[in-house]
Chain A
Amino acid sequence: QVQLVESGGGVVQPGSSLRLSCAASGFTFSNYDMHWVRQAPGKGLEWVTIIAHDGNNKYYADSVKGRFTISRDNSKNTLYLQMNSLRPEDTAVYYCARITSLGDDYWGQGTLVTVSS
Chain B
Amino acid sequence: DIQMTQSPSSLSASVGDRVTITCRASQGIRNDLGWYQQKPGKAPKRLIYAASSLRSGVPSRFSGSGSGTEFTLTISSLQPEDFATYYCLQHNIYPATFGQGTKLEIK
Size bracket of the B interface:
20 to 34
State the Cβ distance, B47 to closest chain A Cβ, in Å. 10
Q: A101-B50, A105-B34, A107-B44 are in contact. Are A47 and B96 (CB under 8 A)?
A: yes
Q: Do B46 and A50 have beta carbons less than 8 Å apart?
A: no
Size bracket of the A interface:
20 to 34
State the Cβ distance, B98 to closest chain A Cβ, in Å. 5
Q: Do B49 and A108 have beta carbons less than 8 Å apart?
A: no
Q: Do B101 and A44 have beta carbons less than 8 Å apart?
A: yes
| B96 contact set on A, CB distance < 8 A | 35, 47, 50, 59
Interface string of B19-58 (1 = CB under 8 A from A): 0000000000000101010100001111001100101100
Interface string of A72-111 (1 = CB under 8 A from B): 0000000000000000000000010101111111011110
Q: Do A110 and B101 have beta carbons less than 8 Å apart?
A: no
Interface majority SS on A: helix, strand, loop or mixed? loop
| A95 contact set on B, CB distance < 8 A | 43-44
Q: Do A44 and B53 have beta carbons less than 8 Å apart?
A: no
- Nearest chain B residue, comparing its CB with the CB of A35: B96
B interface residues, Cβ below 8 angstroms from A: 1, 32, 34, 36, 38, 43-46, 49-50, 53, 55-56, 85, 87, 89, 91, 94-101
7 pairs across A/B with beta carbons < 8 Å? Answer: A44-B100, A62-B95, A97-B43, A100-B49, A102-B49, A105-B49, A110-B43
